[in-house]
Structure 1
Amino acid sequence: MIDKLEMFIALARERHFGRAAEACGVTQPTLSAAIKQLEEQFGVMLVWRGSRFGGLTPEGARVLERARIIVADARTLREEMRAVKQGLSGNLRIAVIPTALAAVSALTEPLTARHPNIRVTVLSRTSVEILQMLDDLQIDAGLTYLENEPLGRVTTLPLYDEHYNLVIRADSPLAARKSMTWAEAAGLMLCLLTPDMQNRRIVDRHMAEAGAAASPRLESNSVITLIAHVQSGGWATVLPRRSAGPFLDGGGLAAVPLTKPSAAHKVGLVAPHREPHTPVLAALLDAARRAEFR
Structure 2
Amino acid sequence: MIDKLEMFIALARERHFGRAAEACGVTQPTLSAGIKQLEEQLGVMLVWRGSRYGGLTPEGARVLERARTIVADTRALREEMRAVKAGLSGDLRIAAIPTALAAVSVLTEPLAARHPKIRVTVLSRTSAEILQMLDDLQIDAGLTYLDNEPLGRVTALPLYAEHYNLLVRADDPLAARGALTWAEAAGLPLCLLTPDMQNRRIVDRHMAEAGATAEPRLESNSIITLIAHVQSGGWATILPRRSAAPFLDGGGLVALPLTAPEAEHQVGLVVPHREPHTPVLNALIDAARRAAFR
Shorter-chain TM-score above 0.5: yes
What is the distance in 2 between the residues matched to 1:215 and 1:267? 26
- Is the aligned partner of 1:240 residue 2:247? no
Q: Secondary structure at the match of 1:120?
A: strand
What is the distance in 2 between the residues matched to 1:58 and 1:114? 45
Shift of 1:53: 0.3
Shift of 1:86: 0.6
The 5 Å alignment of 1:34-183 reads 34-183=34-183
Shift of 1:165: 0.1
Counterpart of 1:244, as a letter, is A
Counterpart of 1:253, as a letter, is L
Of all paired residues, the percent bearing the same amino acid is 87
- Structure 2: gaps spanning 5 or more residues: none
What is the distance in 2 between the residues matched to 1:124 and 1:114? 25
Match of 2:28 in 1: 28
Counterpart of 2:94, as a letter, is I
Counterpart of 1:281, as a letter, is L
Counterpart of 2:129, as a letter, is E
What is the distance in 2 between the residues matched to 1:108 and 1:148? 25
Shift of 1:24: 0.4
Shift of 1:250: 1.4
Match of 1:230 in 2: 230
Match of 2:188 in 1: 188
Q: Secondary structure at the match of 1:104?
A: helix
Match of 2:266 in 1: 266
Shift of 1:89: 0.3
Task: Give the aligned length.
Answer: 294
Counterpart of 1:3, as a letter, is D
Counterpart of 2:26, as a letter, is V
Counterpart of 1:267, as a letter, is V
Query: Cα deviation per residue 1:164-194 (whole Å; 9 max; x = unaligned)?
Result: 0001111111111111000000000000000
Match of 2:287 in 1: 287
- Structure 1: gaps spanning 5 or more residues: none
Query: Cα deviation per residue 1:121-159 (whole Å; 9 max; x = unaligned)?
Result: 000000000000000000000000001110011010000
Shift of 1:276: 1.5
What is the distance in 2 between the residues matched to 1:177 and 1:158? 32
Shift of 1:222: 0.6
With structure 1 as the length reference, what TM-score do the two structures score? Answer: 0.99
What is the distance in 2 between the residues matched to 1:197 and 1:49? 34
Q: Secondary structure at the match of 1:121?
A: strand
Match of 1:9 in 2: 9
Counterpart of 1:259, as a letter, is T
What is the distance in 2 between the residues matched to 1:45 and 1:275? 29
Counterpart of 1:165, as a letter, is N
Shift of 1:253: 0.7
Query: Cα deviation per residue 1:64-116 (whole Å; 9 max; x = unaligned)?
Result: 00000000000000000000001000010000000000111000000001100
What is the distance in 2 between the residues matched to 1:13 and 1:289? 32
Structure 1 residue runs of 4 or more that deviate by more than 4 Å after TM superposition: none
What is the distance in 1 between the residues matched to 2:25 and 2:168? 46
Shift of 1:275: 1.4
Query: Cα deviation per residue 1:173-223 (whole Å; 9 max; x = unaligned)?
Result: 111111100000000000000000000000000000000000000000111
With structure 2 as the length reference, what TM-score do the two structures score? Answer: 0.99
Q: Secondary structure at the match of 2:102?
A: coil
Q: CA RMSD in A?
A: 0.5
Match of 1:277 in 2: 277
The 5 Å alignment of 1:249-260 reads 249-260=249-260
Counterpart of 2:80, as a letter, is E
Counterpart of 2:186, as a letter, is A
Shift of 1:293: 1.1
What is the distance in 2 between the residues matched to 1:4 and 1:162? 42
